[in-house]
Amino acid sequence: MKPPAAWPIGIFDSGVGGLTVVRQIHRLLPAEDLVYLGDTARVPYGTKSPGTVIRFAREDMGFLLEQKVKAVVVACNTVSAWALPLLQQEFDLPIWGVILPGAQSALKRTKNRCVGVIATSATIQSQAYDRLLTELNPAVRVFAKACPLLVPLVEEGWLNHPITIQVLREYLDPLLRCGIDTLVLGCTHYPLLKRALRTACHSRIRLVDSAESCARFVQARLAELALLRPPGGRPGRIQPYVTDETARFDQLSHRFLGCATEPAVKVELPQSSQ
């Protein structure tokens, strides 16, 4: 059965980072209500094993389904990398991730077909970006690098700190030496590092913000399915749910989202039986 277009879009992530995706979806689709789940009690996912990420993802999905959402956006790159096809098989509603939109944007933007990808250790280990990029264009060469120090630096607020720039230089140097002309920011947190990234690598590198690409992708898919909320009504609301106390989320959310939300609510997730 097709869900009503008036229902909200569900979006989930391991923690606060997915708010970069919420921000872009809200910017592009201001009439849509958004229900956001951040699994702040169990963040980070990017250092966990595939089995754990999949179990957490099922539980996150279970919660969003209870909220009556018309579609789900997996804002977390790590979950998109390890669990998206499985979730799409198991749940009967449209579910989209961040990897396909990011890979498609990178292929549109690269001129020399040398693409860099930076992400969490789990995302890089999955090779999800590499596989998809080369499937979409076999001539492309992909150079991927896990950057586990970046998430804590962003959460610390060191967005343009000399230490962050130094760390970025260490991580990016091998990719730049391979001649990449395009870099996919394959993690929810990295859009906040765009300025530091421009300082750390030369300005000719095209940065692909997977949150931005994902928002455009979601807009197009909802339009195809005739699930866009008609314009002209009240502005869309953003309702965050978190699995840990709301204090840290409240402290960080403005940095990631840049606008107000309904007050965050702490919830228990349904346990996955698998």
> Based on CB atoms, which residue is closest to ligand DGL, 7 or 190?
190
Active site residue 76: yes
Q: How far is the CB of 16 from ligand DGL (least distance, A)?
A: 9
For ligand DGL, the closer of residues 182 and 210 by Cβ is: 210
Long-range Cβ contact pairs of 83-88 (< 8 A, separation 24 or more)? 83/53, 83/54, 83/57, 83/58, 86/54, 86/57, 87/57, 87/58, 87/61
Q: Which of 114, 147, 178, 187 is catalytic?
A: 187
Residue 192 tokens read as 């906040």
Concatenated DSSP letters of 64-102: HHHT--SEEEE--HHHHHHHHHHHHHHSSS-EE-SHHHH
Footprint of ligand DGL (CB under 6 A): 13-15, 17, 43-46, 76-78, 120, 123, 151, 187-189
Closest distance of CB 198 from ligand DGL, Å? 21
Instruction: Provide the minimum distance between the beta carbon of 45 and ligand DGL in the complex, in angstroms, as a whole number.
Output: 4
The single residue of 76, 147, 201, 214 carrying the catalytic annotation is: 76
- Residue of 19, 7, 9, 77 lying closest to 44 (CA atoms): 77
Rounded CA-CA distance 201/85 in Å is 34
* Residue number, 10 or 44, with CB nearest to ligand DGL: 44
Give CA–CA dist 166/183, Å, rounded.
18
- The number of helix segments (H) and strand segments (E) in the chain equals 11, 10
Interatomic CA distance for residues 182 and 112, integer angstroms: 9
State the nearest-atom distance from the C-beta of 178 to ligand DGL, in Å.
Answer: 23
By beta-carbon proximity to ligand DGL, the closer residue of 57 and 76 is: 76
Residue with Cβ nearer ligand DGL (78 or 105) = 78
Question: Distance (Å, rounded) from C-alpha 17 to C-alpha 210?
Answer: 12
Residue nearest to ligand DGL (CB): 46
* Residues with active-site annotation: 76, 187
